[in-house]
């Protein structure tokens, strides 16, 4: 009789642990999905903000290049 009660509580405890672990897994999967979404969104924002910086760098390079060529042309 006591063995059956102990076995019943053991089974109940094991099932509860399984349910708790399944709930934790679902929560972790949701957190992982959210983190991946935020990382992808951040990457897209970084790309969008990098475009004007790259364009500005190209403009500065072209200005320096043209001023350097102008200085070469002035000194024959």
Tens-place pLDDT, residues 1-56: 777 878 888 888 999 999 999 999 999 999 999 999 999 999 988 888 888 888 88
Q: Is residue 76 part of a domain?
A: no
Flag whether pLDDT at 59 surpasses 70: yes
User: Is there a domain that residue 35 lies in?
Assistant: yes
What pLDDT does 74 receive?
A: 65
In a domain, 31, yes or no: yes
In a domain, 4, yes or no: yes
pTM over 0.75: no
Domain for residue 16, yes or no? yes
Q: What is the pLDDT of residue 76?
A: 54
Strands (E), the chain: none
| Residue 63 CB-half CA count within 13 A | 6
- Residue 65 belongs to what domain range? 1-71
| pLDDT score of 63 more than 60 | yes
Number of domains the chain contains: 1
């Amino acid at each position: 009789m006591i063995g059956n009660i102990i076995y019943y509580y053991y089974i109940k405890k094991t099932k509860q642990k399984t349910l708790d672990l399944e709930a934790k897994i679902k929560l972790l999967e949701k957190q992982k999905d959210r983190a991946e979404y935020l990382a992808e969104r951040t990457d897209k924002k970084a790309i969008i903000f990098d475009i004007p910086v790259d364009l500005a760098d190209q403009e500065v390079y072209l200005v320096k290049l043209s001023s350097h060529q102008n200085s070469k042309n002035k000194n024959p």
